[in-house]
Amino acid sequence: MSLDLGLPALERAAPRLMRAEPLLTMRDISKSFGNVRALRQVDATVYPGEVMGIVGESGSGKSTLLRMMNLEDTPDGGDYTLRLPGRENENLFDLARYERRMLCARHIGIVYQNPHLGLLMRHSSSGNVAERLLIAGERSFDVLRDKAREALDASEFPLDRMDARPIELSGGMQQRVQLAKAIALEPALLLLDEPTTGLDVSVQALVLDTLKRLQRDRQITMVLVSHDLGVIRTMADRVMVMRHGEVVEQGLADQVFQDPQHPYTQQLVHAKL
């Protein structure tokens, strides 16, 4: 039997067994900055409880996509839905600015690589977490303090430092404060943009460990961007590979790493082995 040398892997079918609906659905997202096409017709689907990893070279559009998911920015075109009660079929990009902010504060948490983006560096750590609760309408001082403490504790932040300002803390601690702020309201979706990049390897391992724990105990749906394949490999269930604003490949994490289909992914994986 002669085999067509160009034979690609079989096209995958639509889900048939999985009965849960996706939590996050993005369709046909495009975004240009001047003549830079940061995102080109990107589709993304994330199911409840999954960790979706996004890898790709610098400038491939990962952070831009995450900012769209966090409703910080709107695309030139495309739809975004989250299966939140009462909002199932709404294109979130159509919401008014204020509504977007409220929805984001209540249902989406984000951790940035740069803690200055996520934290008020001169407020106390517990204050940073409480601020998130205030936005959502919590007013009782005792409840604010208890909930902030609980979130910091779940993020494995040392509670004897909760009155310290982030500016006085190490990078790993700052990331834990961001994480506590992100999970304080038990978000449906947790977005992580290079959460451990720039940390010492040992600190990085501890922060990842905390994330794994949270994922295991609370089944939080996560989208994790990292250019570190090791991070993605230990965390993600599925992976999207981005290049030049496009998704060139996606699949189960072990498949993408062990049997990459796209020439770019093969290069990426082999470079790290």
Partner 1 sequence: MTTTPLLRVQGLTKTFRMYHLDSMLHAFEGVSFDLHEGEFLLLRGHNGAGKSTLLRTIWRSYLPVGGHVFYRSNHGEIDLANAADVDIALLRREEIGFVTQFLNARPRVAAQDIVSEPLRLAGVPQAEALDQARHWLDQFGVRPELWRAYPSTFSGGEQQKVNLARALIQPQKLLLLDEPTASLDAGARAALLRRLAELKAHGVAIIGVFHHPGDVAQLIDREIDLSTRVVADETGEEEHVAL
Ligand X SMILES: Nc1ncnc2c1ncn2[C@@H]1O[C@H](COP(=O)(O)OP(=O)(O)OP(=O)(O)O)[C@@H](O)[C@H]1O
Name the residues that contact Mg ion, by CB under 5 A: 63
Which of the stretches 35-43, 65-73, 177-185, 201-209 binds partner 1 when contact is defined by CB under 8 A?
Answer: 201-209
Tell me the closest approach of the beta carbon of residue 245 to ligand X, in angstroms. 7
| Between 163 and 254, CB nearer to partner 1 | 254
> 10 Å Cβ neighbour count for 241?
25
CA gap 241, 57 in Å, rounded? 9
State the binding partner of 254 from Mg ion, ligand X, partner 1, none, CB within 5 to 8 A by kind: partner 1
Among 37, 205, 228, 244, binds partner 1 (CB under 8 A): 205
How many CA within 13 A on the CB side of residue 128?
30
Give the residue, chosen from 47, 59, 102, 123, that forms a contact with partner 1 under the rule CB under 8 A.
47
Hey, what amino acid is at 185?
L
Which of 41, 63 has the CB closer to ligand X? Answer: 63
Applying CB under 8 A, does 258 fall inside the site for partner 1? yes
Q: Can you tell me which of 10, 96, 201, 273 binds partner 1, judged by CB under 8 A?
A: 10
> For residue 202, which amino acid is it?
S
| HSE-up of residue 175 (Cα within 13 Å, Cβ side) | 24
Span from 13-21, 85-93, 167-175, 186-194 in contact with partner 1 (CB under 8 A)? 13-21
Query: Should residue 96 be labelled a site residue for partner 1 when binding is judged by CB under 8 A?
Result: no
Listed ranges 9-17, 30-38, 75-83, 169-177: which one lies at the site for ligand X (CB under 6 A): 30-38
- The sign one gets for the Cα dihedral 107, 43, 87, 92 is positive
Encoded one letter per residue, x for contact with ligand X by CB under 6 A and - for no contact, window 49-78 reads -------x-xxxxxxx--------------
38 binds, among ligand X, partner 1, Mg ion, none (CB under 5 to 8 A by kind): ligand X
**Residues 6+ positions from 174 with CB-CB distance below 8 Å:** 115, 119, 166
Report how many residues bind partner 1 under the rule CB under 8 A: 37
| Contacting positions for partner 1 (CB under 8 A) | 1, 3, 5, 7-19, 47, 50, 205, 208-209, 212-213, 237-238, 250-252, 254-255, 258-259, 261, 263, 266-267, 270
| Contacting positions for ligand X (CB under 6 A) | 33, 36, 38, 56, 58-64, 227, 258-259
